[in-house]
Amino acid sequence: MLLGTRILGLISAVAIATAAPAFALGQDEKVPPKLALLVMLKVLTYDKNLAARGEGDFVVLVAHEAGQDAARREALTATEELRGATLRTRTVRFRFVAFSNEASLRAAVTEHKAEALLLLPGLSPEGLKTAASVAGSLRLYSLSLDPSFVERSLAVGVTNHAGRPQIVLNLGAARLANASFEPAVLKLARIVQ
Amino acid sequence: MRRYFWLGAAAALSWGASAFAQATPVPDPVAPQSADPSLDISSIDLEDLLDTPIESVSRREEKSSLAPATVFVVSQDDIRKQGFHTLADVLRSMPGFFISDDAAYPVAGIRGFSTPGDLSTRILILVDGHPLNNSVGIGQSYIARDFPVNARGIERVEVIKGPVGSVYGPLAYFGVVNVVTRRAEGEGHSAEVAVGGELAQGAPNGGEVEALYSGAAGGASWVINLGLYRSNGFTWEFPELVGLDRDLPEGGVVRDADRRWANNTYASIRYSDLTLTLGWSQRWKNLPASPYSVVIGDPRNNFYNRTGFAQLTWARKLTEQFELYARAGYDDFRYTDDLVYPPPPDDAGMFYDLGVDRWGTAEVRGTLTPLEGHRDMLGVEVQYHDTNQRSQYRDLPNALEDPVDGFGVGDLANRFVTLNAYLLVEQRLLEDRLLLQGGLTFYVHQLFGNRLTPKLAAVFQATPDDTLKGYYSEGFRPPMVFEAVFEDGLDFIPNGGLRPETVRTAELSYERRLGGVATVGLSLYHSRYASLIRSTTVPNPDLGGVPPDPENPDDFRQQFQNGGEASATGMDLHFNLRLRRTLRAYGGVAVQFADYGTDDPAERARAAANFAPVTANAALSSNGLWEPLSLALNAAFVAGRSKDPDTILIPTDRDSVDPYLLLNATARLEFPWVKGLGAQLSVYNLLDWRYADPVVGDLVPLSEVRNPGRSFRVDMEYRF
């Protein structure tokens, strides 16, 4: 019986090893935009200063440059699926704007009373610099669907770590936004400066 | 009762199946869907979104929902809020676990099984993946304050119930406990210091200092965890011993004979692909229950044990498809005890025992992902052990030193090599919804032979909320050096012919997530244990074939022998709930039946000693009243357990211990007006329940040890 079990185990392991249909593993995929958005918004609820920011709608300005059409469409789908979602009783609104310089981005933030900026993959280095500058000076949360932007200058992103989402937090950028995150989220995040 | 078990199982499965079949309108926060006006992001559980990684099952991080085993995790947040201070506290709250304590060591039982006197030789204890268990098999349970990390340094505790021999090799017999320690939180420095005081039986009796320092700079990060503990322990009562022919304090009340101290140090330093880990713990304790017929209540009776290790690991992804991991480690374990025997003829001063195991480890592991959805892992681990045992009077020569007048046996040295080679193969199918895993481990023990251990597992994620798991797994446990070679010249004789114990388990489990805030899971399993090693009373070989006199203890000796068999069938239900800050809860119920394959009532009772047919656990906490204040309650229920009939020498003794309910409560305040300052008040054994645990035969004529009752603890902490 024991010998039979061993042989069965050996055969099964070899059979599994040689079976090679190529289905997606998800190890190297980017985090789906909707999941990344949910995680990032959830992270904001761990900001000790969130409640002091105000009431009414919580507006996220989805800022993009010309040429980011694919990323914009993807983000549009994700935000549509989150339409009506609330953040501590505040309804989350996504507003899409195209910007070309700091002045136009500042104007859009003011117009929409945005409290967060969401930047999309494919943003130019100059656009990233502009967005970080505006977010810092206006104390906005800066969120990114490209986690590499967080390594450089934005506050919150989500990356794929071993097939699961991982929060990426730039504490310097978060401080500029007057955000102070609780240890509960810090311990789950990859921290960059 | 068996009928009710199957009825319950059928009902639970039927519920699960119906839930499975329904198009349940549980919102999936991730899958594409139309706009959901009711989605409250604050109410979604962040860890649920991230799906806390599990490292224990396949020796890598993976989604807990897809881990091919029955796993359960308790986080640092739970540990802090529940006022847990030792690993035993944490395990006591986890579904399927229970703790027994003989006033020397607390030991963990899983799914009803906990052999009296077994000091964690059938549960693999890991810290950050480093195995701690020594091969001697005495003197350390690793779950009390003899663990190198105190509760403040623990990030989470992961447990696997059931054998995992195909991944870890020996000792993962009843299950695995993996403690993941805290890591540095970003650049810069942070520290925590806590001071705690204990109050028991109406008087202050101990205190503890814990510290944690972490930092990161220049690409390196580090965490250092320190702890110091000292206590006068408890006053214990053994009224059943009054009137026996034995030295005993008046009324059987043992005072000032339960002092204890312990300290721990744990440091982890990471730089690039390298991690250096250093761990150290030592524990000294008096023995109020006094084993081996020594003088009860003598404050000179004590145990001492220490564990230290250093480990260097290196891990690098060499190509997109290939990762290499290597580790080298050195462990040092030492145990001693001092025991005071009664006046003449045994009046020869202090008797002492020594157990030593020093071992070096080298491990290399490669992980290949040649195709999407496919992963192969091949590893080999080699250990060289240098063990020694000694058992003699301090002031007299042992039998090796003086074959004529010597007493006791000294320096039983054994050196041996073990090799653990393992292969794990995984394939994901059906767009990642199906995971198939096969594993094989070939283990070689220079003294106790070879063993090939397979594992097969399938995990099917039918919907984002429903996961079905099925696995067949084997485990084994080579004899401990203590069991095979120990002799003390008094009671124990060796047995070089011992064989490894084996176990085979088939398990089916179903897990369902409810609304993003809760998870419930049900496991049904059947296990067969064979060649179980037990301490057995045998005729003294010095009699040379002359029949022993049942009235003469000198005609008998203790020897570890194979022979025990058992099969167990059980059901394990667990739940996890997180309703924002309003309620955090987890727990479960485990129901199991065991068949020992014998019609002899005495043999059955002997084999079933300390087996708990039902255990239940729950832990609740809430910040709902006021956010800085958390209130927590945890409960552990353990059904009545029988005693080993060989331990019942007092005619009035009962043959089993009663069921009990242990309640612990903690209130924790983080002062909102002083950043980083916190205070905590805990009450342990709130109901003051004097429950009892059956004990090993070494403690005769005691057959049980009763909990000393309610105690209190106050802690102050400062984080900066």
Mean pLDDT across B520-533: 94
Mean pLDDT across B601-617: 91
Residue B307 has pLDDT above 90, yes or no: yes
Chain B residues touching A41 at Cβ < 8 A: 41
Kindly report the nearest CA distance between residue B464 and chain A, in angstroms: 13
**B701 cis-preceded (ω within 30 degrees of 0):** yes
Secondary structure of B650-691 as H, E, C letters: CCCCCCEECCEEEEEEEEEEECCCCCCEEEEEEEECCCCCCC
Mean pLDDT across B289-301: 81
Predicted ipTM > 0.90: no
Question: What is the per-residue pLDDT across A138-176, written as a single tens digit (0 to 9) for each?
Answer: 999 999 999 999 988 999 999 877 667 889 999 899 999
The answer to whether residues B613 and B114 touch, using CB atoms and an 8 Å cutoff, is no
Chain A residues touching B430 at Cβ < 8 A: 23
- The first and second tokens of residue B592, run together, are 């199991």
Lowest mean pLDDT among A88-92, B29-33, B47-51, B256-260: B29-33
Residue with tokens 């789906």: A32
What pLDDT does B26 receive?
28
Return the residue of B nearest to A166 by Cα. B50
Kind and range of the H or E run holding A73: helix A69-81
B345-404 residues touching A, CB cutoff 8 A = 369-376
Residue B570 has pLDDT above 60, yes or no: yes
Q: Which of B32, B187, B428 sits opposite A81 (nearest CB)?
A: B32
What pLDDT does B185 receive?
64
Select, from the ranges A108-117, B182-191, B547-556, B692-701, the one with the highest average predicted confidence (pLDDT): A108-117
Kindly report the nearest CA distance between residue A185 and chain B, in angstroms: 8
The verdict on a CB contact (< 8 Å) between B185 and A187 is yes
The verdict on a CB contact (< 8 Å) between A167 and B34 is no
User: Is B715 within 8 Å of chain A by CB?
Assistant: no
User: Is A26 within 8 Å of chain B by CB?
Assistant: yes
In this prediction, residue B671 has a pLDDT band, given cuts at 50, 70 and 90, of very high
Residue B19 has pLDDT above 70, yes or no: no
B16-75 residues touching A, CB cutoff 8 A = 29-30, 32-42, 44, 46-47, 49-51, 53, 60-63
The residue ranking higher by pLDDT, A72 or B263, is: B263
What pLDDT does B56 receive?
66
The residue ranking higher by pLDDT, B493 or B550, is: B493
Which residue, among A5, A14, A16, would best test binding to B if mutated, counting the most B CBs under 10 Å from its CB? A16
Question: What is the per-residue pLDDT across B355-378, written as a single tens digit (0 to 9) for each?
Answer: 999 999 999 999 998 887 899 999
Q: State how beta strands B253-254 and B203-217 pair.
A: unpaired
User: Is A80 within 8 Å of chain B by CB?
Assistant: yes
User: For the stretch A98-120, what's the b/e string if a residue is b when 16 or more beta carbons lie within 10 angstroms of its beta carbon?
Assistant: ebeebeebbebbeebebbbbbbb
- The first and second tokens of residue B408, run together, are 């006791």
In this prediction, residue A89 has a pLDDT band, given cuts at 50, 70 and 90, of confident
What pLDDT does A44 receive?
93
Question: What is the per-residue pLDDT across B62-81, written as a single tens digit (0 to 9) for each?
Answer: 666 667 787 888 988 899 99
Question: Average pLDDT of chain B?
Answer: 86
Residue B6 has pLDDT above 50, yes or no: no
Kindly report the nearest CA distance between residue A45 and chain B, in angstroms: 6
A130-189 residues touching B, CB cutoff 8 A = 161-167, 169, 171, 183-188
The verdict on a CB contact (< 8 Å) between A23 and B430 is yes
Cα–Cα distance for residue pair B187/B638, rounded to 1 Å? 45
What pLDDT does B222 receive?
93
Residue B503 has pLDDT above 70, yes or no: yes
- Cα A121 to chain centroid distance, Å, stands at 11
Question: What is the per-residue pLDDT across B386-407, written as a single tens digit (0 to 9) for each?
Answer: 999 988 888 788 777 887 777 7
The Cα-based distances of B225 to A34, A78, A139, B99, B267 in angstroms read: 39, 43, 37, 25, 6
Residues in chain B: 720
What pLDDT does B340 receive?
86
Residue B14 has pLDDT above 50, yes or no: no
Q: Which of B40, B372, B504 sits opposite A23 (nearest CB)?
A: B372
Residue with tokens 């030295």: B247
Residue B632 has pLDDT above 90, yes or no: yes
In this prediction, residue B58 has a pLDDT band, given cuts at 50, 70 and 90, of low
- State whether residue A144 is helix, strand or coil: strand
The answer to whether residues B573 and B588 touch, using CB atoms and an 8 Å cutoff, is yes
The verdict on a CB contact (< 8 Å) between B40 and A5 is no
- State whether residue B76 is helix, strand or coil: helix
- The first and second tokens of residue B225, run together, are 């965890």
Residue B720 has pLDDT above 70, yes or no: yes
Question: What is the per-residue pLDDT across A48-72, written as a single tens digit (0 to 9) for each?
Answer: 888 888 888 999 999 999 888 888 8
The answer to whether residues B73 and B176 touch, using CB atoms and an 8 Å cutoff, is no
Cα–Cα distance for residue pair B213/B221, rounded to 1 Å? 11
Q: Which of A13, A87, A164 sits opposite B50 (nearest CB)?
A: A164
User: Is A85 within 8 Å of chain B by CB?
Assistant: yes
The verdict on a CB contact (< 8 Å) between A84 and B437 is no
Chain B residues touching A25 at Cβ < 8 A: 369, 372-375, 428, 432
> In B599-646, where does DSSP find H-type helix?
601-607
Largest separation between any pair of C-alpha atoms in chain A? 78
The residue ranking higher by pLDDT, B211 or B435, is: B211
Q: Which of A8, A42, A185 sits opposite B41 (nearest CB)?
A: A42
The residue ranking higher by pLDDT, B553 or B77, is: B77
Kindly report the nearest CA distance between residue A85 and chain B, in angstroms: 5
Largest separation between any pair of C-alpha atoms in chain B? 90
Cα–Cα distance for residue pair B557/B541, rounded to 1 Å? 8
Chain B residues touching A46 at Cβ < 8 A: 46
Chain B residues touching A187 at Cβ < 8 A: 76, 155, 182-183, 185
The verdict on a CB contact (< 8 Å) between B427 and A193 is no
Select, from the ranges A183-187, B216-220, B498-502, the one with the highest average predicted confidence (pLDDT): B498-502
Residue A3 has pLDDT above 50, yes or no: no
User: Is B430 within 8 Å of chain A by CB?
Assistant: yes
The verdict on a CB contact (< 8 Å) between B29 and A10 is no
Question: What is the per-residue pLDDT across A10-53, written as a single tens digit (0 to 9) for each?
Answer: 444 444 333 323 222 233 467 888 889 989 999 998 888 888 88
**What pTM was computed for the model?**
0.79
**Phi, psi of B567, rounded to the nearest 5 degrees:** -125, 145
Residue with tokens 């992963």: B375
- The first and second tokens of residue B453, run together, are 């251990």
- Interface A-B, measured as beta-carbon pairs within 8 A, has a size of 163
What pLDDT does B30 receive?
37
What pLDDT does B250 receive?
81
